């Protein structure tokens, strides 16, 4: 006896929707329980949807690029009873009977993303040659059709205006390429715009001498490496942030219309760049309970999984503060926007470089060369004022500069 089981997008996922990114199995493939079937890309992570049992992939309901809201049907599997029919099915490909042209036309299926594009663009998907599996029309096909329908840049201005295109302010040579936004890029754009629209944000900038933590790291990194732990500078930033929170707890907070919620647990998001894809900020939870070595180990785990698309939705939730080490890409000074509203602050770490500075020694000014970096704290000015911001940064810098050896 054969049954059908639906393959659905997770009910609980980071964000309100995901995008089908890549089917790992084809119709007719026999799969085992636990085999990865399809990859979904949410606005923060990429996750695999696995088979819940042995069976055969019998239908793909959503193609690459389609939106998958929580609980949406991605496809279907045919399952066999335990009498051995499943093993037999593995040797016999599933036979899919092609529909007659009339039946296929009457039963044409278009994904939600394609139907939405049809409404917005005024393009009938039936008029297109699909690039998806079995000739199915995808959202990308609709987007390409829209671009093809637009007048060429060299067309008269009147023709372009009639087509709804605003003439460019500066003449272009007509050479360009279209790069569709990923779900992550669109999410970052929405979050940044919403963050600035929601909160008045102010940035304070201090300078930190890294001599002490560089010396400590040099003396301890080999010992930790032998344990499989990479001791990064970011681990020191996390530890110093925890120390600063003890002095100014309001930084670890969230603004509400009628109160300020100050958290006991310090859950620090670490901004990790993923190249052109964007960035993610997985969470080190209860950082106040961790020593430097444990912080470094958790950082390494999160970073490795972020860069291999192995983060889970839970890794991204519950942050109360964020650190952005923008200096790793060469930036001296930046004022990061609060990534995750409604957090009250985000710390920025600039590029580490040797600078000539003046230090007083035995009452006399001396010129020294020190490893320095600019550090910034961007705050929600509803939650925090300047004296709290500066007190927090002062303590953060002091902890780094007075790090015990």
Instruction: Give the H or E element holding residue 187.
Output: helix 183-198
Q: Do residues 345 and 172 lie in contact, with contact meaning Cβ atoms separated by under 8 Å?
A: no
Q: What does residue 54 show for φ and ψ, rounded to 5 degrees?
A: -70, 150
DSSP 84-121: THHHHHHHSPPP-PPPPHHHHHHT----HHHHHHHHHH
The alpha helices in 8-138, defined as continuous H runs, are 85-91, 101-106, 112-121
Tokens of 35: 């085999």
Instruction: Give the H or E element holding residue 188.
Output: helix 183-198
pTM: 0.64
The confidence score (pLDDT) of residue 231 equals: 96
Query: Tokens 């300078």 — which residue?
Result: 207
- Tell me the sheet residues that pair with 347: 323, 377
Provide the 10 A C-beta neighbour count for residue 367.
8
Is 381 one of the annotated active-site residues of the chain? yes
Convert the pLDDT of each residue in 347-370 to its tens digit: 999 999 999 999 999 999 999 999
Q: Do residues 327 and 351 lie in contact, with contact meaning Cβ atoms separated by under 8 Å?
A: yes
Rounded to the nearest 10°, the torsion over CA 9, 14, 15, 17 is -20
The confidence score (pLDDT) of residue 198 equals: 84
Tokens of 66: 């389609």
Q: Do residues 282 and 306 lie in contact, with contact meaning Cβ atoms separated by under 8 Å?
A: yes
Tokens of 125: 């998907």
The confidence score (pLDDT) of residue 341 equals: 78
The confidence score (pLDDT) of residue 14 equals: 55
Q: What does residue 96 show for φ and ψ, rounded to 5 degrees?
A: -105, 115
Sites in the chain below the pLDDT cut of 70: 1-2, 12-17, 43-45, 80-113, 132-134, 150-174
Tell me the pairing of strands 353-361 and 321-324: unpaired
Q: Three-class SS string for 377-403?
A: EEEECCCCCHHHHHHHHHHHHHHHHCC
Which positions ≥6 away from 300 have C-beta within 8 Å? 229, 230, 232
Provide the 10 A C-beta neighbour count for residue 161.
12
Q: Which residue in the list 30, 381, 387, 402 is annotated as catalytic?
A: 381
Calculate Rg over the CA atoms of the chain: 27
The confidence score (pLDDT) of residue 150 equals: 62
With H, G, I as helix, E, B as strand and everything else as coil, classify residue 260.
strand
Distances (CA, A) of 115 to 121, 145, 187, 397: 10, 14, 22, 55
Tokens of 210: 């890294």
The confidence score (pLDDT) of residue 274 equals: 84
Q: Which residue in the list 124, 304, 314, 385 is annotated as catalytic?
A: 385
Is 314 one of the annotated active-site residues of the chain? no
The confidence score (pLDDT) of residue 44 equals: 63
Convert the pLDDT of each residue in 189-202 to its tens digit: 877 888 888 889 99
Tokens of 24: 């790992």
Q: Do residues 10 and 70 lie in contact, with contact meaning Cβ atoms separated by under 8 Å?
A: yes
With H, G, I as helix, E, B as strand and everything else as coil, classify residue 215.
helix
């Amino acid at each position: 006896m054969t049954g059908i089981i639906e393959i659905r997008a997770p009910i609980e996922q980071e964000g309100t929707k995901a995008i089908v990114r890549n089917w790992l199995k084809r119709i007719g493939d026999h799969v085992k329980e636990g085999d990865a079937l399809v990859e979904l890309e949410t606005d923060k992570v990429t996750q695999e949807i696995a088979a819940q049992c042995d069976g055969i992939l019998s239908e793909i309901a959503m193609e690459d690029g389609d939106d998958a809201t929580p609980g949406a049907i991605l496809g279907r599997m045919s399952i066999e009873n335990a009498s051995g029919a499943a093993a037999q099915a593995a040797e016999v490909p599933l036979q899919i009977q092609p529909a007659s042209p009339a039946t296929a036309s009457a039963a044409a299926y278009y994904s939600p993303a394609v139907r939405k594009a049809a409404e917005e663009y005024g393009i009938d998907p039936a008029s297109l040659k699909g690039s998806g599996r079995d000739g199915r029309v995808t959202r990308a096909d609709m987007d390409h059709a829209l671009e093809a329908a637009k007048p060429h840049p060299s067309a008269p201005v009147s023709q372009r205006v009639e087509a709804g295109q605003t003439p460019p302010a500066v003449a272009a040579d007509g050479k360009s390429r279209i790069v569709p936004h990923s779900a992550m890029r669109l999410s970052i754009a929405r979050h940044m715009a919403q963050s600035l629209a929601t909160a008045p944000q102010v940035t304070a900038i201090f300078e930190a001498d890294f001599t002490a933590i560089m010396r400590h790291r040099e003396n301890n990194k080999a010992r930790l490496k032998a344990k499989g732990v990479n001791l990064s500078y970011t681990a020191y930033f996390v530890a110093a942030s925890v120390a600063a929170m003890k002095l100014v707890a309001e930084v670890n907070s969230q603004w509400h219309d009628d109160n300020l919620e100050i958290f006991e647990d310090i859950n620090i998001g670490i901004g990790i760049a993923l190249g052109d894809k964007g960035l993610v900020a997985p969470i080190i939870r209860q950082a106040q309970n961790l020593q430097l070595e444990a912080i470094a180990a958790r950082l390494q785990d999160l970073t490795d999984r972020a860069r291999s698309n192995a983060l889970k939705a839970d890794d991204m939730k519950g942050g109360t503060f964020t650190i952005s080490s923008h200096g790793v890409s060469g930036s001296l000074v930046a004022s990061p926007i609060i990534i995750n509203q409604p957090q009250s602050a985000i710390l920025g770490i600039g590029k580490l470089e040797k600078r000539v500075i003046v230090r007083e020694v035995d009452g006399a000014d001396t010129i020294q060369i020190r490893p320095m970096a600019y550090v910034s704290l961007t705050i929600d000015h509803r939650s925090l004022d300047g004296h709290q911001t500066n007190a927090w940064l002062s303590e953060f810098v002091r902890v780094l500069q007075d790090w015990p050896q």
